[in-house]
Amino acid sequence: MSCFIRSKINKEIIEKYWEYTVSQNDEKMRYFFDKNAYINWHNTNEHFTVNEFIKVNCNYPNKWYGDIERIEELGDLFVTVVRVYNKKSSFHAVSFIKTKDDKIVSIDEYWGDDGDIPQWRIDMNNE
């Protein structure tokens, strides 16, 4: 008999979390979190409780879409790469999602703007 109890959280559940997050569905997002969970957006040095995070996410202006490009499962940690976009903007988010007892207990997230190749690198490749 194994002492290791596998979490019920799996890639499909993480995919659902992202679906509800991108669609800004506050009620369904809340289901995934432990009540004491926290979220860090390192690019802007912000630290959120679950309620603060859901409020910020769901009040973010405009309608958004998202494509999960990659999910890696490392025990109780999921690493996701997600493209989040609308007609005017596109971003990539890399998230380290830690789980415990079938809930998300923390997320460390890094966001980057998608954009064109800088001219200096285009010039460098043409030399």
- 2-22 pLDDT, tens digit per residue, is 444 455 779 999 999 999 999
In a domain, 105, yes or no: yes
Residue 42 lies in a domain: yes
Q: Is 5 within a domain?
A: no
**In which domain, by residue range, is 36 found?**
11-125
What's the number of domains the chain is made of? 1
Single pTM value for the model: 0.88
Q: What is the pLDDT of residues 85-99, one digit of tens each?
A: 999 999 999 999 999
Confirm whether 2 is domain-assigned: no
The Cα 57–Cα 71 span in angstroms is 21
Residue 91 lies in a domain: yes
CATH of the domain at 73: 3.10.450.50
pLDDT of residue 4: 44
Rounded to 5, what percent of the chain is helix, strand, coil?
30, 45, 30
**Residue 32 lies inside a defined structural domain of this protein:** yes
